[in-house]
Structure 1
Amino acid sequence: MSLTTKHNKTVSLNINPASIIKIELIIVAALLLLNLLQQFLLYEGIQPKIITFIDLNEENNFPSLFSGINLMFTGCVVLLISLAKDRGSRFYKHWFFISFVFFFLGADELASIHERVGRYTSIFLGVEDTIGGFIWVLPFSILLLILAYFYLPFLLHLPALYKKLLVIASIVFVGGGMVMESIGSTMVGVSVYYPLEYIVEETLEMLGVIIFLYAFFKYLKNEIGEINLSFLFRQVE
């Protein structure tokens, strides 16, 4: 015969948002400078071995890993906010879905999902494969407009500070990820300024995520307060 006893464990998360934001800004600034230096060295005919590891235009390297993890980390912060909300509140599901969006964007950054979407969209529309790399902007733009439509009431209900930060973050992130991507697609192979374009593009994307993260950290601190996570363990005796 066995008896089951329950033990509650409460875990407090002590996070210093200011330190995290500063570290991330330093990383972005370092990547920006390294990529500009890389372009100068390439212009001089020098190709350092570290080039693919820090190149903002490459996949499966440090910048893409940093971006993917940071997007998912932002999703975790939003998930904490959603869990702290009353499930009967009007925008509880909105917060929860925002966390899913950031998790998806993080997975996309790590697995290049949007490029696969671009190829399938290119095939579906019967468009040349040469533009399949950026035609993903079309279906993603449609999803973005749908998301904006349903989330406008949510945005409007927020206090002015968070509203302003989220609008700025959205403009910076979308401006880098979609607008600059479209511009860059016309420069590949035909313009010597293309490397500068993708450096600006990726830098804007990373800065956009950092602004999102800052906004959610501020909301978590000012509107939610301290969060204690309680875990229930069952022990068989």
Structure 2
Amino acid sequence: MEISASSVLKLLLAVIGFLLFAHVVGMFFEHALNHGTVYGLVPLFDISAERNVPTFYSSFALLLSAGLLALLTRGAHRRRQPWHHWAGLAVVFLFLAVDEFTSIHERLTVPVRETLDVGGYLHYAWVIPYGLLGLVLLGVYARFLLRLPRHIALLFVVSGSIFVAGAIGMEMVGASIAEATSRASLSYDLASTAEELLEMLGIALFIYALLRYASEQMGGLSISLITAASPRQPLPTGPSRPTVS
């Protein structure tokens, strides 16, 4: 079978669009009609909430990124090409997937805030250690980005910038609003919506970039398919190799 990078991107954008629509409808019920549950459907699709449908999607998208990076690591190793940077990214995105679902970062907020005595835009103080780690990661991967094809490197940079603008930038805006007013306010919900939307869009674009790289530089990803063979048919002797474009 043939996997198209553009088709995958369109599918991810369609899912994101549906989640955003469901969330906006929920915001209307909560803020305009003062009905914040609707038989549990509103919190189920609340983008700013935890452990619901949007969280599951975001965790899946991050895990998919980690899986693609692991396949690129394997492909580079087999071709005797540098693979350590791909492996490092796979570990980072695996951690982000776990963090998205379990909210590890939020547990750092109180101890970091009390230790550094910060507030306002830094009310959610977990952004400090995560932001510093992000800068370190950027420094470590600067040369790696320069070695990539220019259009792939640009996609990586743009997708990363969109993700960080949401995860760090809009998180800081939301923190300031939450401290000044309340997390139940419409302004906080709007900031939180922008935060999660930017994160989702950034990861979707990153997945597209990974698939483009796999197609153009490595001849596609090798995926073994295990199928049940009929008694009259021999078992397949090798893995199929779908191409990614």
Deviation for aligned residue 1:17: 3.5
User: Which residues in structure 2 correspond to 1:13-162 (within 5 Å)?
Assistant: 15-42=3-30, 43-47=32-36, 48-49=38-39, 50-86=41-77, 89=81, 91-123=82-114, 125=115, 127=117, 134-162=124-152
| Equivalent pair of 1:187/1:194 in contact (CA under 8 Å) | yes
Report the Cα distance in structure 1 between the residues aligned to 2:124 and 2:154, rounded to whole angstroms: 29
Task: Identify if the C-alpha distance between structure 1 residues 215 and 70 changes in structure 2 by more than 3 Å, giving closer, same or farther.
Answer: same
Q: Which runs of 5+ in 1 are unaligned?
A: 1-12, 232-237
Pairing partner for 2:154 from 159, 164, 169: 164
Deviation for aligned residue 1:230: 7.2
Report the Cα distance in structure 2 between the residues aligned to 1:183 and 1:130, rounded to whole angstroms: 9
| Equivalent pair of 1:115/1:133 in contact (CA under 8 Å) | no
Q: Which runs of 5+ in 2 are unaligned?
A: 226-245
SS in 2 for 1:162: helix
SS in 2 for 1:186: helix
Report the Cα distance in structure 1 between the residues aligned to 2:18 and 2:220, rounded to whole angstroms: 33
Of structures 1 and 2, the one scoring higher in RCO (CA 8 A, sep 6+) is: 1
Match of 2:193 in 1: 199
Report the Cα distance in structure 2 between the residues aligned to 1:132 and 1:186, rounded to whole angstroms: 7
| Equivalent pair of 1:176/1:205 in contact (CA under 8 Å) | yes
1:1-32 deviation per Cα after TM superposition (whole angstroms, max 9, x unaligned): xxxxxxxxxxxx86443333222111111111
1:75-114 deviation per Cα after TM superposition (whole angstroms, max 9, x unaligned): 100111111113753x411111011111110000011011
Q: Could you tell me which amino acid in structure 2 is paired with residue 119 of structure 1?
A: V
Q: Could you tell me which amino acid in structure 1 is paired with residue 87 of structure 2?
A: F
